[in-house]
């Protein structure tokens, strides 16, 4: 290799030093060698020699400029070649300023704000000493039982790809070496982790290569095409082989087909876990499979440092593979300018100014406003400032609104709903707060206090939901209803016969039985982040008109799962009109349709769609179609509408979804204002993976849909001729 990094470093490193460069350990190993915590376990158990630490390549989970600088300084004094450590952590939806969870951001359909949130997160992380974030997570998810659905942007491949690109650009900017306010991004979890059977985390994933390529891979590719610096392998198997040891996935598709030449990192212990999968006899074989598949960094286990040297000495691994892995890691360090400036953006003084500053919190507030989705409203919202409001529920004044992966975020400084409503109402004494119940417990005293509070109210606002640890990693639920205690609280408040609004705090689409049917209004807040309460109060009092649109279906019940808008028709589709016919694809006890469809969301105003026109009814490979539709704000308030464009390929070489999102426009309209929205359809939008894995379109009939959600659409037809 003629590479200058090879000549300066790799060539002069011992085999042990090179394999140590492939090691990533959690912070406690570095800032207090010898101590251990529940996150790391005793160093001895991991079989790590202190000597090894001298040459380790990266560290996970150090937060704070001073701490990072101390660890880096100590490391550079020990590392024989003076190779700086990479500092990495999970900055998924904010560092200290916590943004709404990604599933909420997905419901904003606002790519610019999504990019801004990543840019702010990077600014706070970089000044605190971090170099790489383990984000964006772009796993396609169609099963809300899976706890990590909160980390995704939803059920649509196309939308997820747009968000992936926005996040990567936000984190990395376009000059990572010189722009010390940015960090390298790491797209995860490659691949198809979100298809875990039964929605049970870490469970088996099994799908056809065509499904994988058509629906599950494109968002990762969008991140790679956007220049993401690192890819993290997933815990699951792909076609029977763990992703972390899957050469077809990593060497063939990721590196060869997509041209990704950056660093591949395992997920936490996912190399060692190939033994538990039954894919490797022992840790040594796991190390062999992972290095051959092209995994560069072993996160949090010692498979590489304990076995790669002997595998090389035994002639089972070509040392060149290790040199290549080391080189990619050194190139990442160089792309961040670490060799010249190992402390990079770490700056204790600036950290105090930048982290959690007002400007950042304003972005978080804006995004929380845009991510909230009005799911129902029968004359209750917005609230009137003079109304006496009884705010009841475990989230009435709770700081647990940051959601999973809010690591250094502080629940204590989160803006709580009750406090914000008092401020926004103009009449703080008109807002009376009662807990009403716990997350999953309720007492007569709590109920009596809630009834007493509500007795004097003009309107009841219930703030209910899941605690943040009921979703996130390891947070899969078999029952996705609200906990029974909260359903009891809702029933009790309903009995009072007063207008009832529900604000939901949750990390997944829920089964809303006992909520949607009971409430007059339902506002989906998700986990709205550091400024969540303030954003919600402004929505509840009408200072902000909600504009979120669901990026994931809310099932009618858990029995429907997986339920998603772009499904296949089947040979016995259930007709629109009711039928007694038993022998069609349906349930005998519930509807086929989700309670709330992809793309759905209400506003405090109303919009009308008219004059859908096509520039032609014939599309050819070199003459695109222009689609026009007029949207009018027919209500009394200004509002934002997300106009959605879907296409259905009526008959393909393989069966095609009943509709697929192919574009959207967010428009702001004043009362009475109309706007003509224009989309352009060209033949490339109609291409898909055929059964021979070629990507092309088919001539024939297509239906085009434009509307306010995947269900509320107007249609037109066109023909693609070759
Ligand atoms: C976890 C997660 C991954 C995260 C990593 C480091 O197990 O699967 O998303 O980035 O470990 O915390």
Q: How far is the CA of 107 from the centre of ligand 1 (A)?
A: 24
> Is residue 125 exposed (0-12), middle (13-18) or buried (19+ Cβ within 10 Å)?
buried
Residue 407 has pLDDT above 70, yes or no: yes
Residue 39 has pLDDT above 50, yes or no: no
Per-residue pLDDT, averaged over 218-225, amounts to: 98
b/e map 100-113, b = 16+ CB within 10 Å: bbbbbbbbbbbbeb
Pocket of ligand 1 contains residue 334 by CB under 6 Å? no
Give the tens place of pLDDT for each residue, 259-299. Answer: 999 999 999 999 999 999 999 999 999 999 999 999 999 99
Out of 40, 86, 134, mutate this one to test ligand 1's pocket (max ligand atoms within 8 Å of CB): namely: 134
CA distance readout (Å), 628 to 205, 315, 716: 41, 65, 11
End-to-end, the C-alpha distance of the chain in Å comes to 48
Ligand 1 atom nearest residue 92's Cα = 10
The residue whose CA is least distant from atom 3 of ligand 1 is: 267
Pocket of ligand 1 contains residue 267 by CB under 6 Å? yes
Q: How far is the CA of 267 from the centre of ligand 1 (A)?
A: 6
Flag the least confident range among 20-34, 191-205, 439-453: 20-34
pLDDT of residue 34: 54
Q: What is the C-alpha to C-alpha distance for residues 263 and 327, in angstroms, rounded to an integer?
A: 9
Q: Bridge-partner residues for 607, per DSSP?
A: 633
Confidence of residue 31 (pLDDT cuts 50, 70, 90): low
Pocket of ligand 1 contains residue 473 by CB under 6 Å? yes
Find where tokens 């290095």 sit.
291
Q: How far is the CA of 363 from the centre of ligand 1 (A)?
A: 26
Q: What is the C-alpha to C-alpha distance for residues 542 and 391, in angstroms, rounded to an integer?
A: 17
Give a yes or no: residue 550 inside a domain: no
Out of 59, 90, 235, 271, mutate this one to test ligand 1's pocket (max ligand atoms within 8 Å of CB): namely: 90
Contact in structure between 144 and 552 (CB atoms under 8 Å): yes
Contact in structure between 698 and 653 (CB atoms under 8 Å): yes
The answer to pTM > 0.95 is yes
Residue 182 has pLDDT above 50, yes or no: yes
Residue 620 phi, psi dihedral angles, 5° rounding: -125, 170
Q: Which residues contact residue 443 at a Cβ distance below 8 angstroms, ignoring those fewer than 6 apart?
A: none
Neighbours of 82 (CB within 10 A): 12
Higher pLDDT, 701 or 62: 701
Give the tens place of pLDDT for each residue, 493-525. Answer: 999 999 999 999 999 999 999 999 999 999 999
Find where tokens 């971090």 sit.
130
Ligand 1 atom nearest residue 235's Cα = 8
pLDDT of residue 35: 53
Contact in structure between 373 and 546 (CB atoms under 8 Å): yes
Boundary-marking domain end, from 319, 350, 381: 350
Q: In CATH, what number is assigned to the domain containing residue 29?
A: 3.20.20.300
Residue 1 has pLDDT above 50, yes or no: no
Confidence of residue 43 (pLDDT cuts 50, 70, 90): low
Contact in structure between 662 and 710 (CB atoms under 8 Å): no
Q: Which residues are catalytic?
A: 267
Number of domains the chain contains:
2
pLDDT of residue 552: 98
Q: What is the C-alpha to C-alpha distance for residues 563 and 85, in angstroms, rounded to an integer?
A: 45
Residue 333 phi, psi dihedral angles, 5° rounding: -65, -40
Residue 113 is encoded by which pair of tokens? Answer: 């704000």
CA torsion through residues 74, 75, 79, 82, sign: negative
Out of 27, 473, 474, 475, mutate this one to test ligand 1's pocket (max ligand atoms within 8 Å of CB): namely: 473
Per-residue pLDDT, averaged over 537-566, amounts to: 98
3-state secondary structure 464-476: EECCHHHCCCCCC
Ligand 1 atom nearest residue 135's Cα = 10
Residue 716 phi, psi dihedral angles, 5° rounding: -150, 165
Boundary-marking domain end, from 350, 379, 405: 350
Side-by-side strand order, sheet with 521-524: 373-377, 521-524, 500-505, 459-465, 389-392, 431-434
The residue whose CA is least distant from atom 11 of ligand 1 is: 268
Confidence of residue 90 (pLDDT cuts 50, 70, 90): very high
Residue 717 is encoded by which pair of tokens? Answer: 């037809």
The residue whose CA is least distant from atom 6 of ligand 1 is: 268
Q: In CATH, what number is assigned to the domain containing residue 689?
A: 2.60.40.10
Boundary-marking domain end, from 350, 382, 414: 350
Would you call 704 helix, strand, or coil by DSSP? Answer: strand
Pocket of ligand 1 contains residue 405 by CB under 6 Å? no
The residue whose CA is least distant from atom 10 of ligand 1 is: 134
Q: How far is the CA of 473 from the centre of ligand 1 (A)?
A: 8
Contact in structure between 312 and 15 (CB atoms under 8 Å): yes
Pocket of ligand 1 contains residue 139 by CB under 6 Å? no
Per-residue pLDDT, averaged over 548-572, amounts to: 98
Give the tens place of pLDDT for each residue, 437-472. Answer: 999 999 999 999 999 999 999 999 999 999 999 999
Q: How far is the CA of 581 from the centre of ligand 1 (A)?
A: 48
Q: What is the C-alpha to C-alpha distance for residues 94 and 320, in angstroms, rounded to an integer?
A: 38
Pocket of ligand 1 contains residue 407 by CB under 6 Å? no
The residue whose CA is least distant from atom 8 of ligand 1 is: 267
The residue whose CA is least distant from atom 7 of ligand 1 is: 268
Confidence of residue 46 (pLDDT cuts 50, 70, 90): low
Residue 305 has pLDDT above 90, yes or no: yes
Could you check whether the bond before residue 649 is cis, i.e. omega within 30 degrees of 0? Answer: no
Q: Bridge-partner residues for 718, per DSSP?
A: 702
Q: How far is the CA of 549 from the centre of ligand 1 (A)?
A: 28
β-strand pairing of 625-633 with 431-434: unpaired
The residue whose CA is least distant from atom 12 of ligand 1 is: 90
Find where tokens 């975020």 sit.
409
Element (H, E) at 233: strand 230-233
Residue 149 has pLDDT above 50, yes or no: yes
For residue 438, give the nearest of 425, 447, 448 by alpha carbon. Answer: 447
Per-residue pLDDT, averaged over 565-584, amounts to: 94
Ligand 1 atom nearest residue 188's Cα = 9
Q: How far is CA 417 from the centre of its chain?
A: 24
Pocket of ligand 1 contains residue 179 by CB under 6 Å? no
pLDDT of residue 30: 67
Q: What is the CA radius of gyration of the chain?
A: 26
Q: Bridge-partner residues for 510, per DSSP?
A: none
Give a yes or no: residue 562 inside a domain: no
The domain of 704 spans 607-720
Give a yes or no: residue 318 inside a domain: yes
Q: Which residues contact residue 143 at a Cβ distance below 8 angstroms, ignoring those fewer than 6 apart?
A: 149, 194, 195, 196, 198, 199, 561, 562
Residue 368 has pLDDT above 50, yes or no: yes
Pocket of ligand 1 contains residue 190 by CB under 6 Å? no
Residue 82 has pLDDT above 60, yes or no: yes
Give a yes or no: residue 563 inside a domain: no
Q: At what angle do helices 417-425 and 532-540 cross, to 10 degrees?
A: 40
For residue 662, give the nearest of 616, 707, 607, 693 by alpha carbon. Answer: 707
Q: What is the C-alpha to C-alpha distance for residues 501 and 372, in angstroms, rounded to an integer?
A: 14
Confidence of residue 63 (pLDDT cuts 50, 70, 90): confident
Per-residue pLDDT, averaged over 326-336, amounts to: 98
Side-by-side strand order, sheet with 230-233: 263-265, 230-233, 184-190, 132-133, 86-89, 58-60, 23-26, 298-299
Neighbours of 687 (CB within 10 A): 12
Give helix then strand counts, H and E, for the chain: 22, 26
Give the dihedral of Cα atoms 440, 92, 290, 273; nearest 10 deg. -10
Mean model confidence pLDDT for the chain: 96
Q: What is the DSSP letter of 180?
A: T
Q: How far is the CA of 471 from the centre of ligand 1 (A)?
A: 14
pLDDT of residue 38: 47
Pocket of ligand 1 contains residue 356 by CB under 6 Å? no
Confidence of residue 50 (pLDDT cuts 50, 70, 90): low
Q: How far is the CA of 16 from the centre of ligand 1 (A)?
A: 26
Neighbours of 313 (CB within 10 A): 11
Ligand 1 atom nearest residue 90's Cα = 10
Q: What angle do CA 242, 243, 245 make, to 5 degrees?
A: 70
Out of 148, 267, 406, mutate this one to test ligand 1's pocket (max ligand atoms within 8 Å of CB): namely: 267
Q: How far is the CA of 230 from the centre of ligand 1 (A)?
A: 14
Q: Which residues contact residue 41 at a Cβ distance below 8 angstroms, ignoring those fewer than 6 apart?
A: none
Give a yes or no: residue 651 inside a domain: yes
Q: What is the C-alpha to C-alpha distance for residues 677 and 667, in angstroms, rounded to an integer?
A: 9
Find where tokens 């705090």 sit.
505
Would you call 150 helix, strand, or coil by DSSP? Answer: helix
Q: Give the DSSP letter string of 325-376.
A: HHHHHHHHHHHTTTTT-TTTT--HHHHHHHTT-HHHHHHHHHHHHHH-EEEE
Pocket of ligand 1 contains residue 90 by CB under 6 Å? yes
Residue 42 is encoded by which pair of tokens? Answer: 């005793």
Q: How far is the CA of 621 from the centre of ligand 1 (A)?
A: 44
Give a yes or no: residue 123 inside a domain: yes
Give a yes or no: residue 438 inside a domain: no
Out of 102, 146, 268, mutate this one to test ligand 1's pocket (max ligand atoms within 8 Å of CB): namely: 268
Q: Give the DSSP letter string of 588-625.
A: SSS-SS-SB-TT--B-SS-EEEEEEEES-SEEETTB-E
Percent of the chain with pLDDT over 90: 93
């Amino acid at each position: 290799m003629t590479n200058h990094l090879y000549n300066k470093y790799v060539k002069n490193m011992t085999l042990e030093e090179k394999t140590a460069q492939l090691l990533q350990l959690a912070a406690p190993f570095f800032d207090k060698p010898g101590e251990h915590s529940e996150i790391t376990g005793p160093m001895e158990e991991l079989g790590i020699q202190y000597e090894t630490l001298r040459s380790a390549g990266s560290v996970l989970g150090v937060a704070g400029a001073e701490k990072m600088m101390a660890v880096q300084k100590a490391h550079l004094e020990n590392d024989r070649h003076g190779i700086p450590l990479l500092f990495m952590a999970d900055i998924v939806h904010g560092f200290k300023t916590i943004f709404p969870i990604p599933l909420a951001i997905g419901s904003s359909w606002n790519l610019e704000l999504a990019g801004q949130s990543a840019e702010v997160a990077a600014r706070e992380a970089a000044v605190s000493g971090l170099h790489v974030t383990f984000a964006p997570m772009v796993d396609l998810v169609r099963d809300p039982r899976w706890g990590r659905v909160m980390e995704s942007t939803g059920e649509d491949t196309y939308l997820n790809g747009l968000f992936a690109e926005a996040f990567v650009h936000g984190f990395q900017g376009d000059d990572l070496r010189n722009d010390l306010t940015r960090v390298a991004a790491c797209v995860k979890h490659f691949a198809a982790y979100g298809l875990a059977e039964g929605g049970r985390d870490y469970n088996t994933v099994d799908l056809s290569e065509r499904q994988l390529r058509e629906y599950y891979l494109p968002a990762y590719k969008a991140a790679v095409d956007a220049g993401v610096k690192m890819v993290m392998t997933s815990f699951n198997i792909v076609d029977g082989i763990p992703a972390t040891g899957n050469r077809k996935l990593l060497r063939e598709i990721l590196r060869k087909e997509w041209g990704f030449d950056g660093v591949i990192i395992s997920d936490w212990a996912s190399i060692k876990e190939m033994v538990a999968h039954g894919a490797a006899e022992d840790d040594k074989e796991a190390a062999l499979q992972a290095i051959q598949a092209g995994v560069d960094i072993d996160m949090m286990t010692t498979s590489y440092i304990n076995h790669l040297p002997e595998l090389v000495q035994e002639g089972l691994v070509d040392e060149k593979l290790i040199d290549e892995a080391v080189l990619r890691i050194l190139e990442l360090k160089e792309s961040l300018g670490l060799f010249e400036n190992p402390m990079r953006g770490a700056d204790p003084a600036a950290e105090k100014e930048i982290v959690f500053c007002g400007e950042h919190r304003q972005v978080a507030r804006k995004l929380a406003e845009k991510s909230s989705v009005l799911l129902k409203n029968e004359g209750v919202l917005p609230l009137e400032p003079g109304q006496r409001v009884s705010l009841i529920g475990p989230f009435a004044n709770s700081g647990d609104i940051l959601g999973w992966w809010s690591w250094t975020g502080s629940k204590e400084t989160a803006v709580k709903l009750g406090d914000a409503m008092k401020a926004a109402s103009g009449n703080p004494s008109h807002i009376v707060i009662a807990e009403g119940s716990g997350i999953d417990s309720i007492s007569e005293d709590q109920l009596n206090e809630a009834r007493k509070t509500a007795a004097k109210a003009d309107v009841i606002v219930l703030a209910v939901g899941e605690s943040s640890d009921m979703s996130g990693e390891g947070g899969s639920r078999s029952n996705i209803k609200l906990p029974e205690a909260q359903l009891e609280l809702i029933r009790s408040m309903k009995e009072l016969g007063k207008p009832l609004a529900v604000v939901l705090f949750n990390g997944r689409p829920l089964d809303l039985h006992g909520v949607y049917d009971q409430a007059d209004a339902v506002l989906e807040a998700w986990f709205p982040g550091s400024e969540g309460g303030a954003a919600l109060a402004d929505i509840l009092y009408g200072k902000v008109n909600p504009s979120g649109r669901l990026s994931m279906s809310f099932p009618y019940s858990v029995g429907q799962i997986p339920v998603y808008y772009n499904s296949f028709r089947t040979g016995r589709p259930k007709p629109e009109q009711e039928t007694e016919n038993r022998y069609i694809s349906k349930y005998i006890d519930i509807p086929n349709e989700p309670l709330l469809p992809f793309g759905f969301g209400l506003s405090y105003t109303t919009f009308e769609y008219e004059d859908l026109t096509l520039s032609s009814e014939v599309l050819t490979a070199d003459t695109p179609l222009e689609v026009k539709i007029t949207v009018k704000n027919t209500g009394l308030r200004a509002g934002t509408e997300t106009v959605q464009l879907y296409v259905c390929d009526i008959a393909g070489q393989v069966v095609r979804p009943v509709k697929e999102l192919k574009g959207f426009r967010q428009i702001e309209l004043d009362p009475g204002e109309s706007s003509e929205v224009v989309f352009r359809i060209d033949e490339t939008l109609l291409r898909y993976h055929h059964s021979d894995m070629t990507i092309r379109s088919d001539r024939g009939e297509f239906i085009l849909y434009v509307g306010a959600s995947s269900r509320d659409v107007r249609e037109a037809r066109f023909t693609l001729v070759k």
